[in-house]
Amino acid sequence: MPLAIVLIALALTINIWLWGHWSFERSAGLSVLLIVDTLLLFWLILSPLLRFRKGVTFATSFRSWYQKLAFYLVMAMTIFLSVSSFYGLLKYLLPLKILLLGIYVFLHWSKKKVSSSQ
């Protein structure tokens, strides 16, 4: 779960960087994708915080299928937008994000493999 938090923080950093350098004279589709990516990212951040007041922790609130779907959509859209917008900082953050996402998927997959074999 801490790796998911790091990935969300990294996606937020990339989104802030993109909004600072984004030109809306680009493709309208990419602009809409950036807006949807940012809205999903803020929903991923705020949803567990709002549920925390009800006593639900971040780890348990992140287990729902729609939050997992939103997480993977945000990661995919952020990677796509980063690749299509090679700005200085993104060139260095993108490989780190892909590495962390790969580690996250591997750990999640290996945990499922161990639990299914038991």
pTM > 0.75: yes or no: no
Among left, alpha and beta (phi > 0; psi -120 to 50; other), residue 40 is: alpha
pLDDT for the residue 86: 57
Would you tell me how many other CB atoms lie within 10 Å of the CB of residue 52? 12
pLDDT tens digits for 23-47? 665 666 667 777 777 888 787 777 7
Extents of the domains making up the chain:
2-112
Specify whether the CB–CB gap between 44 and 67 falls below 8 A.
yes
Average pLDDT (43-67) is 69
